A and B are shown apart, each in its own frame.
Chain A
Amino acid sequence: MKLKIYSDRTFILNEIRQITNEIEEEDKTTAYNSVVENAISELIKIDMRELAHRDQSEQWYSGERILFQALDSVRDNLVSIKPTFDFSEYFKAAEKKLRSPALELSDLRRKLRASKEMALTGDQTSIDGLQPYQVKELGLKGAIEGLLIFPSSDVVDVDLDRLRQTYSVEGEWFPFQIKIRDFTFVVDDDGSIFTSTEHFSERMMTDARQIIEQIAPKLYS
């Protein structure tokens, strides 16, 4: 099974484009569509998280600043895919709903900055190639709870048949589970590969890392 997989952001944007096309075709533009509202809120959450994570400058970001910057960014994205559609009511609802999460993100951004200065967090490594990806250690150094690999780009081709030729892949659909020795790896619908490493010894951690890094090039080949 070969599949084209989209990042969460691209997937949601594509869905919003399709749904709004269907709304126009059925002449339902005046009806309030809560699915569109939820999808827009999710896009804003994704942007807020990325913004709080990416920009590690010393500058203080209030929750409001994070929220409004994400609102602007999502609005720009939607205008580029659907310039004539009026999303204003959905943005009003999202803004109201996401004020509290934005405050939490502002606080977490400050804390993450301090943790990174002390090199407390798990490493993240970029792997180049035709379909580049990132390897992230989840958790704090000395207590890494999981390994996550995810594509660097918004769209990636995955080849599950190629994985099945080498490994025992269980499941008819996502999340697939791959069993290798005592380890289980999870392939999900955003193209990520995850394995839990709770309470692993250093030796087990090294083995898990070696195996997940062997799976990734086969999945993204």
Chain B
Amino acid sequence: MVTLEIQSRSLGFSKEEQNLATGAYTREALRDRFQKALAAKPAFTLAPTLSIDESVLKRMISKYSEQLIYQPLNEVRFWFEYSSGVFLEPGYPPLFYAKNRGKSVSPNKSAVAAIGEGVAGLLAQRLYRCRKLARPNHDYPDIVMVASRRTYLVESKATIDSSDARIKEEIDEAIPRFVSFASTCSQLDVRPVVALMIGTLVVSDSVYRSFVSEISMV
């Protein structure tokens, strides 16, 4: 069973802020202005926690992840086992061979990304009653969904061995691109567009913390 702690925030972006988001790619001054505007918007607040069985996560990972990865939940479990230092005890491999030449030991990034995509799809379904319309191949965003004649663009971020502050920072850094894209879609689409940026911090093999930013164009 995985405990999924959720924090969420709703962000509305005016036309001017949408333009700032687009300009933030090319000019540092615009990027700073955008980040200032973002900092003035509502912060994340706690939402009800979900208890999710591993069968549910596995199903969601198969449905939404683009990663070709065998048993990502076990990969993450193995990483936390390694991180506990237990490999020094009898019965474990004597050396971690990749540690040569200054290489740092890191978790399987594909497994973490797969979990992030699965959790993003799961939360879009559970919190917004969305259904998958498309899972674009090597494209942006990760998932296109629909609910009540609205288009939901879903983008996931996932990290392990990190902190709340760090993942929030990563999410905020990714917001301008997402706002700019959602703004374009919203002008071309006939339906209202909602963009969901869902970042997941894998705290342990049984606790994940997700940060949901619901972005709309105002």
Contact = CB atoms under 8 A, between A and B. Distances in A.
Given A38-B133, A196-B54, A186 B59 contact: yes
B55 A39 contact: no
Interface stretch (B6-14, B104-112, B122-130): B122-130
B208 to A, nearest CB: 16
Interface stretch (B35-43, B169-177, B185-193, B197-205): B185-193
B137 A196 contact: no
Contact of A38 (B63, B129, B144, B191): B144
Nearest to A24: B190
Interface string B70-81: 010000000000
Given A38-B144, A174-B125, A186 B56 contact: yes
Given A35-B151, A175-B59, A97 B137 contact: yes
A175 to B, nearest CB: 5
A177 B126 contact: no
A23 interface: yes
B133 A12 contact: yes
A22 B136 CA distance: 23
Given A35-B151, A38-B136, A175 B191 contact: no
Interface in B128-183: 129, 131-137, 139, 144, 146, 149, 151
B153 to A, nearest CB: 9
Contacts of A146: 58
Contact of B125 (A23, A98, A175): A175
Interface string A166-206: 00001111110101000011101100001110100000000
B53 interface: yes
A177 B55 contact: yes
B190 A19 contact: yes
Interface in A1-40: 8, 11-12, 15, 18-19, 22-23, 25-26, 28, 31-35, 38-39
A31 B191 CA distance: 13
B60 interface: yes
B131 A11 contact: yes
Nearest to A6: B131
A169 to B, nearest CB: 12
Given A19-B191, A172-B126, A175-B125, A184 B53 contact: yes
B131 A35 contact: no
A41 interface: yes
Contacts of B132: 8, 189
Interface of B: 51-56, 58-60, 63, 71, 122, 125-126, 129, 131-137, 139, 144, 146, 149, 151, 185, 188-191
13 contacts: A31-B188, A38-B134, A39-B133, A39-B134, A170-B51, A175-B56, A175-B122, A177-B55, A184-B53, A184-B55, A185-B55, A196-B54, A196-B58
Given A33-B188, A170-B51, 20 more contacts: A15-B133, A38-B133, A39-B133, A39-B134, A42-B133, A97-B137, A98-B137, A175-B56, A175-B59, A175-B60, A175-B122, A177-B53, A177-B55, A179-B53, A186-B55, A186-B56, A186-B59, A188-B63, A194-B55, A196-B58
